[in-house]
Amino acid sequence: MNPLPPSRSWQRAGVGLLAIAIVGGAVFFARSSRERSLSADAPATTPAAPATTTPAIKAPPTANHHEAMWYQKLPDGRVQCQLCPHGCRLGEGQIGICRVRQNIGGTLYAIAYGRVAAAHVDPVEKKPFYHVLPGSRAFSLATPGCNLRCLFCQNWEIAQSYPWQVTTRTLSPADVVAAALQSGAQSIAFTYSEPTIFYEYMLDIAKLAQAQGLKTLVVSAGYINPEPLRALLPHIDAYKIDFKGFDPAFYTDLTGGTRDPVLETMKTIHQSGVWLEVVNLLVTGKNDSENDVRQLARWVCDTLGPDVPLHFSRFYPMHKLANLPPTPIETVLRARQIALEEGLHYVYTGNIRSAAGDSTRSPVTGDIVIERKGYHVIHNHLVDGLAPNGEPIPGVWK
């Protein structure tokens, strides 16, 4: 999950009156400082485990109800969502684990459609994408909700909320594309929460964006069923998967999901030809052992190939794991070395400063072809994806 920008993280300080503004090419949400209390009729947080039902609740009236895709109508007015592996079966009024798909009168609705909880123009490297339009800007947005329950969630204020628990701004797909174009961004990134759960909104935006020459980027945990994923991929230019950890127990205990559907998601994306990058957040003492890292790197290399970039990120105390210390920097650097030993060509250390882990190097010569400091590109020596020696470097370069 791509963290909300510190300077624009209005959700972190509380939510209130929301306005959208375009200032100097940057699009962001402004807020008042008054904290808004959560809705009184909101149910308790869903347990971090797969489930098929949630309490029936009365969501506040809204004009944003949009019929969902990927569901089946069942007897007695129930519906079964088929978007993600949870497969929630919902009676009248019930909302899925994702908090944004509700059975209303026997029809499944995407109740966060068009309700933008965060938007900003970021460096594309912050997503992180290191092999997509280096040095460019991505218009980044999210609605509330997520279909996982990560105890270490970085953007829990919006990802673990119902649409009425946070302040949102209603934006049509055309509004989003127009704002992205006005900002000067070269792409639209669906990020911050979990794009899978605002599938219909993402798809409608992506179609319009590509027609206007914008690239479309997805930053996701990858907890999606194969059929909706395959239907989405023709409209997406690059996909980044936040892979949580190679140990299946880590997924079950700390995310409320399961590992294998995410492995299938990565294989499906790679086989489709859509550009794929993978990120692994190393949570202190949970998924950061050398064995965990080596298994992941070996799987990526053997299954997806050595040219798929793998990023390792440092964990900072957050959400329900605020008691843990940050990942030692040495652990992140060691993870990169292990992945290189396993045969991967492009391994990065995304959110720490590292001369070795920031830049893209030629696998043949070892020379730097894209020099970075943090999320900033200092020199890009590629021309149409070719290094100075004529070697092709895989990615989305134009």
> Angle at the Cα of 113 (from 26 to 181), degrees rounded to 5?
30
Cβ(233)–Cβ(274) below 8 Å: yes
In the three-class reduction of DSSP (H, G, I as helix; E, B as strand; rest coil), residue 104 is classed as strand
Task: Give me the mean pLDDT over the 85-103 stretch.
Answer: 97
Count Cβ atoms within 10 A of the Cβ of residue 47 and give its class: 0-12 exposed, 13-18 middle, 19 or more buried. exposed
Using pLDDT thresholds of 50, 70 and 90, give the confidence band for residue 7: very low
Cβ(86)–Cβ(124) below 8 Å: no
CA 129, CA 239: separation in Å to the nearest integer? 9
Predicted pLDDT of residue 354: 87
- b/e sequence 95-129, b meaning 16+ C-beta within 10 Å: bbbbbbbbbbeeebbbbbbbbbbbbbbbbbbbbbb
> Angle at the Cα of 16 (from 143 to 191), degrees rounded to 5?
20
pLDDT at 213 exceeding the cut of 90 = yes
Paired sense of beta strands 169-170 and 187-190, if any: unpaired
Which tens digits make up the pLDDT trace of 158-186? 999 999 999 999 999 999 999 999 999 99
| Count of domains for the chain | 1
Predicted pLDDT of residue 63: 55
pLDDT at 212 exceeding the cut of 60 = yes
CA 372, CA 51: separation in Å to the nearest integer? 43
Name which of 258, 209, 255, 262 is nearest 240 in CA terms: 262
Cβ(73)–Cβ(35) below 8 Å: no
CA 73, CA 79: separation in Å to the nearest integer? 4
Q: Which domain holds residue 160?
A: 115-380
DSSP for residue 148? -
Which tens digits make up the pLDDT trace of 348-385? 998 888 888 999 999 999 999 999 998 999 999 999 99
CA 118, CA 11: separation in Å to the nearest integer? 8
CA 320, CA 326: separation in Å to the nearest integer? 14
Which tens digits make up the pLDDT trace of 288-344? 999 999 999 999 999 999 999 999 999 999 899 999 999 999 999 999 999 999 999
pLDDT at 286 exceeding the cut of 60 = yes
Predicted pLDDT of residue 353: 85
CATH number for 147: 3.20.20.70
Task: Give me the mean pLDDT over the 26-30 stretch.
Answer: 38
Is the residue at 75 inside a domain? Answer: no
Q: Which residue has the higher pLDDT, 14 or 370?
A: 370
Predicted pLDDT of residue 58: 56
Paired sense of beta strands 107-110 and 118-123, if any: unpaired
Predicted pLDDT of residue 56: 55
Please report, rounded to a whole number, the percentage of residues in the chain having pLDDT higher than 70.
Answer: 84
Residue 186 half-sphere exposure toward CB, CA atoms < 13 A = 14
Which tens digits make up the pLDDT trace of 57-82? 655 555 568 999 999 999 899 999 99
Is the residue at 255 inside a domain? Answer: yes
CA 296, CA 55: separation in Å to the nearest integer? 37
Is the residue at 297 inside a domain? Answer: yes
Is the residue at 254 inside a domain? Answer: yes
CA 190, CA 215: separation in Å to the nearest integer? 11
Strand partners, 218: 190, 239
Specify the amino acid at residue 30.
Answer: A
Q: Which residue has the higher pLDDT, 42 or 350?
A: 350
pLDDT at 209 exceeding the cut of 70 = yes
Is the residue at 91 inside a domain? Answer: no
Is the residue at 37 inside a domain? Answer: no
Is the residue at 398 inside a domain? Answer: no
pTM: 0.88
Using pLDDT thresholds of 50, 70 and 90, give the confidence band for residue 35: very low
Using pLDDT thresholds of 50, 70 and 90, give the confidence band for residue 12: very low
Predicted pLDDT of residue 31: 32
Chain-centroid distance of CA 242 in Å reads 7
Is the residue at 277 inside a domain? Answer: yes
Count Cβ atoms within 10 A of the Cβ of residue 343 and give its class: 0-12 exposed, 13-18 middle, 19 or more buried. middle
Task: Round the average pLDDT of the chain to a whole number and report it.
Answer: 87
